[in-house]
Chain A
Amino acid sequence: MPTTPTVHFEAASTLAVVVSSNEPLLFLSEDLKVIAASASFCRAFEIDPATVPGRRLSELGNGEWAMPKLASLLKATASGSAHIEAYQIDLMRPNQKTRHLVVNARTLDDGDIDHVRLLLAVADVTDARAEARLKDDLIRDKAILLQEVQHRVANSLQIIASVLMQSARRVQSAEARGHLHDAHHRVMSIAALQRQLSTSAGGNVELRAYLTQLCQSLGASMIAAPDRLSIQVTVDDSAVEADVSVSLGLIVTELVINALKHAFPDERMGRIAIDYRSSGNDWTLTVTDNGIGMPTGTDAPKAGLGTGIVEALSRNLQAEIRLSDAAPGAAVTITHVEGAELSADLSTAA
């Protein structure tokens, strides 16, 4: 059985462990001859296992393992003066791509101090590194793409907003102008949400920041005398899904537009308060004004588009709408109670 020219014989169990190692492994003598190579090593680096035993490390394959730096490090390891830990080398073979290797070497500690032998573990990290780089590239691409999309959305909303406002400046009819302004407010409401989403990390929207920004935007475009009319926003720390926040934002938009239009005639002073609070999955949104109150009965105006929007969105959120007298003024309360029966119907015009 001993066909190798070495005078020292290794324990069969040691050789078996080396050969069956899952990690590419070389078992070397002190003068860097290969005693055994793992099957995984031969497979990974395309070396015929039959040619391995007794050959010098520098003679393996087509001589691609003849790397002076590796040889000197292995010799230093054998003499006990150095350790190779995660040493990086490039394996270059003709007509093949360079492979990036991480090698670890240590002396075998089997109690036989007269015979120094080395274990050299070789990990090919080429694919793992390429994969990591690809992943980094993908993450960066995604961030760039997302920014590009947000930018495009903002620009598209700007086109819509611009056209609506330009039309509003052109039309003669005050009623038509009012409708165009309302449409513009609705677009800006969606835009405020878009802005909030683009600055938030996850898909959730922090309601306080969103509704505050929304009401600032509504106030800036609808309130000509800020010392006469004000909008106050009180929201707890709730963060909700983007879909839900769109609905809440549009509801607030409609109710605030409605209050600003109807609650404070004749230069009346006033305040609109938006309040949102949640407890578990239940929440309540209240929009209160201290204006003239909502007309009822035959004085009540016909329900408009705003009312339809508030009703439809509330129904969608499985929430109930309640109108009440805030004395002075009016309050609209929209409540979602998990599993409750619904009657989303706003009988007075909003």
Chain B
Amino acid sequence: MKNGKAVVLVVEDSAIIRMSAVDLVRSAGYEGLEAQDADEAIRILESRSDIDLVFTDVQMPGTMDGIKLSHYIRDRWPPVKLLVASGNAILEESSLPGGSRFFSKPYDDHAITDAMARLLAGGTSDGSAG
């Protein structure tokens, strides 16, 4: 959380999709951060402790794809909520860490902000994210 706003990190290699996703996050009232691959995402997660949710693509260049990244985040920063989107219509839900949400691309903006709100509300008993 930063100034009472939940902080969402968008990880996406396509510049236009990333820009729009950050815009969507901000329009939903959250603080939006961006990374173009898993390595950059990890650097950002290491540099600050206020990230509440990571919204990541699956197929990305670099050392990790979005699935590996979600497992890495779950192991290292367990409270961070995870939302995953992929161009593959069918993704083994079981290949993702428990509690994460999956959407196939193209996703619907309302469905994404709705899922973010639910994930963030599930953080603590008083309804606000940790």
A→B interface (CB under 8 Å): 147, 150-155, 157-163, 165-166, 169, 187-188, 191, 195, 198-199, 217, 220-221
CB of B126, distance to nearest CB on chain A (Å): 26
- Per the 8 Å Cβ criterion, residues 76-107 of B in contact with A are 85-90, 104-107
Q: Which residues of the partner chain B approach A152 to less than 8 Å between Cβ atoms?
A: 87
Number of inter-chain CB pairs below 8 Å: 73
On whether the beta carbons of A151 and B108 are closer than 8 Å, the reply is no
In the complex, 10 of the A-B residue pairs with CB atoms within 8 angstroms, ordered by the A residue number, are: A147-B88, A150-B88, A154-B104, A154-B105, A158-B106, A161-B107, A162-B20, A166-B19, A191-B106, A217-B108
Complex interface: stretch among B21-29, B41-49, B61-69, B117-125: B21-29
In Å, the complex CA distance between A157 and B105 comes to 8
Query: If A159-B14, A165-B24 touch, does A154 touch B87 (CB 8 Å cutoff)?
Result: yes
Residues of A within 8 A of B20 (CB): 162-163, 165-166
Chain A residues closer than 8 Å to B88, beta-carbon distance: 147, 150-151, 154
Size bin of chain B's contact surface = 20 to 34
- Whole-angstrom distance from the CB of B87 to the nearest CB of chain A? 3
Report the bound CA distance from A161 to B14 in whole Å.
Answer: 13
B24 interface neighbour in A166, A188, A191, Cβ under 8 Å: A166
Is B87 within 8 A of A221, CB to CB? no
Asked if B108 and A155 sit within 8 Å, CB to CB, the answer is no
| A169-B23, A217-B108 given; 13 more Cβ-contact pairs under 8 Å | A150-B87, A155-B87, A157-B106, A158-B106, A160-B106, A162-B17, A162-B106, A166-B19, A166-B20, A166-B24, A187-B106, A220-B110, A221-B111
Chain B residues within CB distance 8 Å of chain A? 14, 16-17, 19-21, 23-24, 27, 59, 85-90, 104-111
Q: Is the Cβ of B89 less than 8 Å from the Cβ of A220? A: no
Question: Hey, which chain A residues are within 8 Å of B85, CB to CB?
Answer: 158
B89 and A221 within 8 A (CB)? no
Known: A155-B87, A198-B89. A161 touches B106 (CB 8 A): yes
Residue ID in chain B nearest A185 by CB atoms: B108
* In the complex, chain A residues whose CB is within 8 Å of the CB of B109: 161, 165, 221
User: What residues of chain A lie closer than 8 Å to B110, measured between beta carbons?
Assistant: 220-221
What separation, in Å, do the CA atoms of A153 and B89 have in the docked complex? 11
Q: Please name all residues of chain B whose beta carbon is closer than 8 Å to the beta carbon of A158 when the two chains form the complex.
A: 14, 17, 85, 87, 105-107
